[in-house]
Structure 1
């Protein structure tokens, strides 16, 4: 089959200068000076001569933030967004953690490859990559190791070698913390300090940590459901009624405006956004409150709001790479780990929505998992079910973590773990923290997973102080 290429990936002539940096425009927002940067980088940093991706490039975009004083003598800090598959924040002012960071750093908001303005992967252009197998090969280039190699290439072009030894700092939130740990493994020489919030990756010594991680997170989802229903006991009956209504519809669900089918199992995925961040319980309660009209039908406002709660149509990388971010090395296929966990003896009855509703038990919402059925129920994902199957069975992946390198780490690292984190299990994160020499760990139940958004100034300042007071044996 002929090789498919999108316009974002151009083949370079021999002798072309890659990587390449193109400074863009500058503009002001309240309290910030914003500079835009575009970098032309290899699509496959490890491509062998004559291989499929040899010579192909990708454009990666970033915004540099400075205070209006434009202090260009400060070190750089690159922010790695959670996900996978989400673009960096679009700042409208100097607020949250950015306000604190600007007193000590020039901040780089990186659109990780495949997101935002960095050759975004969409449900439209992914189809142009050819067969499911070709699409899967392409998507394998968008994991943490490729993101880190992008960062290293950008650092060498952006950070003067005479300033801070040419090094920069990293702040990784959630999946961004996974990337930061990969950075510590693959290229620690480029780092002056690393901060992580809710992002210490679980099972870094395992070929695929997904089954273990998802088992822990299903247990946390049950605990979060219990807390939710304790807060809003009247919603037990409301949710049961919704599930019975959906199950009774022709086809087993209600059609949504975008073409998805709202089945009981898809309805349960509201827990992904509704159970684990600051204010999410309240948002979920008000959403459920809007489901029925006066005649007992689903309201258009609920249907529209449900679709806006998820990003399957705008950020398909989040679904397609959700299990592969846990895989490394050989014999590392995820094999639909979330489904295997949910269908296990421990969880199958607890997460059976229809049975729970009919038996008068509280219906359990699910957490941050991507299940195979979503490629049937979600319209935007249906064309990529075969691609997702290929990714699930892929048994050989690039390495993400080097435990021996981490054991001899010399980079100051400070990490925040949320004791009741619904997305990244605290106990598994604690194991990883113990394997990174010199890492200083702050554990708290003051915040949920969105702590950096909810109280960013305090969190950033404390983590930076912890990192800069690091002492190595």
Structure 2
């Protein structure tokens, strides 16, 4: 294709190749049904993918690898150079970076775009189409229209992307040559498994808190002081720059990013280094700094990724409602995770993990508009199945999975239980990496999994 030329073919638009250091890329946009069960009656949405190859390999016939990002509600990476796992993948694959529906350039569902749908009931009716089942339908649409002869491809699923890959194995295994999972083996039981997930995760969250304070013992008193300050403020919180307020329980949400990734401890510690404004005038009142409040909002990012908050618990639901599972299960551990009680007692204040709570839709301004829709999603019962256990029991697709022993987001024990249900899977259990191992390992995690599939690694 000539530089600058655009190719149009029905529901598929292709842009010209462009470059970043050591990579060549081109963009594809597909028009797909919002609802695959009613194709003739439904509206259409855009699905965006970016094709990535090593420089000089644009015309080579390479096998395809589809990358599914973690989430829900987060777009695929935007490469700036050949590095990390992507560099390793491009040694032998044409890599397809898919923006899952509702993210990135795939008809993004943002605070502003979702606000076009004014009725909470209509918001729910729209949002129900944005789970793993339809992400797989989109992937199959892309494969058939993009891959020569619609050949099967390899899928690499990170975190929630791995959940989607197991849904792929359940309902469209004919589209798969092999599957690689990194921190992404989902619980696959019937109905809602969110309760099981949260109960299992609390012990790991507790351990991560204890390790954090062992690393930075000076933060025990700093965090206690912040909690006491917030509790004594009028309305039990302080205003945030973009609206809403920071409360004691809101402060605990910092554990979502701070406790589960390779550099999270350090980033959390450095954030609390600048929690207070300096005293410029003797006798001035103590204030939490604007720097801290702004950084807090950036850490949570619910204003740019509302899908994460709206659909998070639904990723565990099959034929049952979540009923605000995290909120209910956290109450069972109230003594350990009550911030005010801990600040006024002898225990450190524990941060929380990957959990969404109903009060967030009051305290986080960007989510205020979706409070009613969030409640309707929490009580919705008719979620379709995401996994086919008999199909997984008889799986014929080669699968290799990295399971991180200290994973705070995807519980180790539950991952191993799921692995037992997937015929032929090869597991690599490691404590060398945390949940972000694919990103942190500079290609080593991907290389190890490919080695498992190719027989380069021993069976035992």
Distance (Å, rounded) in 2 between the aligned partners of 1:160 and 1:465: 26
Q: Which of these residues, 21, 34, 42, is aligned with residue 25 of structure 2?
A: 34
Match of 2:186 among 177, 197, 201: 201
- Are residue 246 (structure 1) and residue 230 (structure 2) matched? yes
**How far 1:18 sits from its partner (Å)?**
10
The answer to whether the 8 A contact 1:19-1:41 is kept is no
What is residue 385 of structure 2 aligned with on the other side?
399
Partner of 1:84: 72
Which residue does 2:4 correspond to in 1? Answer: none
Match of 2:3 in 1: none
Which among 294, 304, 310 is matched to residue 320 of structure 1? 310
Quote the offset at 1:304 in angstroms. 1.2
Partner of residue 289, structure 2: 299
- 1-side partners of 2:213 and 2:10: how far apart? 53
> Of the candidates 432, 443, 451, which is equivalent to residue 418 of structure 2?
432
After superposition, give the CA deviation of every residue in 1:328-387 in whole Å (9 maximum; x if it has no partner): 1x3x1000000000112xx01111101110113200100000111111110001111110
2:337 is the counterpart of 1:351:
yes
Give how far 1:123 is off. Answer: 0.9
- Pair 1:56-2:43 in alignment: yes
Aligned partners of 1:18 and 1:42 also within 8 Å: no
Question: In 1, distance between residues paired with 2:81 and 2:45?
Answer: 29
After TM superposition, the structure 1 = structure 2 runs for residues 121-140 of structure 1, keeping only pairs within 5 Å, are 121-140=109-128
Deviations 1:27-75 (A, max 9, x none): 10001001100001111111276xxxx2311110010001112253111
For residues 218 and 383 of structure 2, what CA distance do their matches in structure 1 show?
47
Residue 462 of structure 1 corresponds to which residue in structure 2? 448
Matches of 2:201 and 2:309 in 1, distance apart?
Answer: 17
| Secondary structure in 1 matching 2:37 | coil
Q: 1:201 to 1:252 in 2, by over 3 A?
A: same
Deviation at 1:465, TM superposition (A): 1.5
CA distance in 2, matches of 1:260, 1:440: 46
User: What is the distance in 2 between the residues matched to 1:134 and 1:18?
Assistant: 32
Matched, 1:20 2:23: no
Helix, strand or coil for the counterpart of 1:349? helix
Query: Corresponding residue for 1:94?
Result: 82
Aligned twin of 2:362: 376
Q: Find the residue that maps to 2:391 and give its secondary structure.
A: helix
Deviation at 1:456, TM superposition (A): 3.6
2:150 matched to 1:148? no
- CA distance in 1 between partners of 2:433 and 2:136 (Å): 28
How far apart in 1 are the matches of 2:423 and 2:165? 15
Within 1, Cα distance between the matches of 2:442 and 2:160?
17
Alignment of 1:447-458 (within 5 A): 447-458=433-444
Give TM-score, length-normalised by structure 2: 0.94
Instruction: String of CA shifts for 1:214-245, please: whole Å, max 9, x gaps.
Output: 11112211111011111111111110000001
Mapped to 1, the partners of 2:203 and 2:330 lie a distance apart of 10
1:110 maps to 98
Aligned partners of 1:358 and 1:229: how far apart in 2? 17
What CA distance in whole angstroms lies between the structure 1 residues aligned with 2:278 and 2:63?
59
1:336 aligns with 2:324: yes
Q: Secondary structure at the match of 1:448?
A: coil
Task: Provide TM-score, normalisation by structure 1.
Answer: 0.92
Which residue pairs with 2:374 in the alignment?
388
**Whole-angstrom distance in 1 between the partners of 2:177 and 2:452:** 14
Deviates more, 1:307-316 or 1:462-471: 462-471
Q: In structure 2, what is the Cα distance between the partners aligned to 1:291 and 1:19?
A: 54
Deviations 1:76-121 (A, max 9, x none): 1010000000000000001010010011100000000000000000
Q: Is the 8 A contact 1:18 1:40 kept in 2?
A: no
Residue 104 of structure 1 aligns to a residue in which SS?
coil
Is the 1:255–1:262 Cα contact (8 Å) retained in structure 2? yes
SS at match of 1:141: coil
Q: Corresponding residue for 1:46?
A: 37
- CA distance in 2 between counterparts of 1:118 and 1:144 reads 15
Secondary structure of 1:359's counterpart equals coil
Q: CA RMSD in A?
A: 1.6
Determine the structure 1 residue equivalent to 2:157: 172
For 1:48 and 1:396, how far apart are their aligned partners in 2? 20
Alpha-carbon separation, structure 2, partners of 1:237 and 1:196: 40
In 1, the alpha carbon distance for the partners of 2:211 and 2:98 equals 36
Q: Distance in 2 between matches of 1:142 and 1:325?
A: 10
Alpha-carbon displacement from aligned partner over 1:279-338 (angstroms, at most 9, x marks no partner): 11000001011101234311111111111111100010000000001011x3x1000000
Match of 2:211 among 227, 238, 251: 227
* Number of equivalent positions: 444
SS in 2 for 1:112: coil
Distance in 2 (CA, whole Å) between partners of 1:467 and 1:404 is 23
> What's the offset of the Cα at 1:206?
2.3
Q: What are structure 2's unaligned runs of at least 5 residues?
A: 1-7, 280-285
Structure 1 match to 2:5: none
2: CA distance, partners of 1:335 / 1:92: 41
